[in-house]
């Protein structure tokens, strides 16, 4: 079940509806469409940067401007998402493509709010160190092997907020520098971009693992009242 949370930024009177999605779930894409068509926002914010936008819009798009281990990591992660997407009968990033398409249907502006993927990969890779990189690749391979044997309903269960919080907690414990670059810093960046988007009624489509962090960052930027 995709989670929708609502935040009101008091200073600007910006009404924000945030939906936490799974990038390889058709149900998530449908939930994003439903929310946008119901809310009729003037602005839709999406967890993409320009580079990832091109990648999800064009299958097998070349990753320009990236090289080295960070690119290898992105390819491994992309292959992992594609494998899960095949199980779920949907393409990775279908949730965000649906957000953009639905925004166009209601004539809303689309704002890409994520940090440049090159910056994220660079910070992540530098923070891990040699031993951390080795441990992380083994960890990722183990998770990929486990995911290959999972049924679609088991993958959907991972979307539950308790499961997500547990997974992020494990990531922070095992690889604190990785979580900082991959999750925490991006949460803060996306919250700043949302606040600066200039909309009055805003829908935000982000991965479920970012939902709570982005809300906390929005609340820290200025006094807010939140409606669940």
CA 15 to chain centre: 20
Whose CA is closest to 26, among 105, 81, 98? Answer: 98
Give dist(CA 127, CA 56) in Å, integer: 27
pLDDT digits (tens, 9 = 90+) for 103-133: 999 999 999 999 998 898 888 888 887 788 7
Any residues with CB less than 8 A from the CB of 125 and at least 6 apart, and which? 68, 69, 70, 73, 133
pLDDT of 185 above 90: yes
Q: Give the global pTM.
A: 0.76
d(CA 70, CA 178): 12
Q: What is the pLDDT of residue 156?
A: 57
pLDDT-above-70 percentage for the chain: 69
């Amino acid at each position: 079940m995709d989670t929708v949370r609502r935040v009101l930024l008091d200073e600007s009177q910006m009404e924000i509806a945030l939906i936490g999605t799974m990038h390889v779930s058709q149900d998530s894409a449908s939930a994003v469409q439903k929310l946008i068509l119901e809310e009729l926002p003037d602005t839709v914010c999406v967890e993409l940067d320009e580079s990832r936008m091109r990648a999800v819009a064009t299958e097998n798009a070349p990753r320009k401007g990236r090289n080295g281990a960070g690119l290898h990591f992105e390819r491994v992660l992309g292959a992992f998402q594609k494998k899960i997407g095949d199980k779920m009968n949907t393409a990775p990033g279908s949730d965000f493509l649906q957000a953009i398409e639905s925004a166009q249907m209601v004539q809303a502006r689309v704002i890409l709010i994520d940090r440049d993927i090159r910056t994220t990969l660079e910070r992540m890779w530098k923070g891990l160190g040699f031993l951390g990189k080795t441990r992380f690749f083994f960890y990722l391979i183990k998770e990929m092997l486990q995911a290959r044997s999972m049924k679609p309903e088991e993958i959907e269960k991972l979307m539950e907020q308790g499961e997500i919080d547990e997974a992020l907690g494990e990531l922070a414990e095992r690889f604190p520098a990785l979580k900082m670059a991959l999750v925490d810093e991006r949460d803060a960046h996306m919250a700043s971009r949302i606040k600066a988007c200039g909309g009055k009624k805003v829908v935000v489509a982000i991965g479920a693992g970012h939902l709570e962090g982005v809300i906390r960052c929005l609340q820290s930027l200025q006094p807010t009242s939140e409606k669940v």
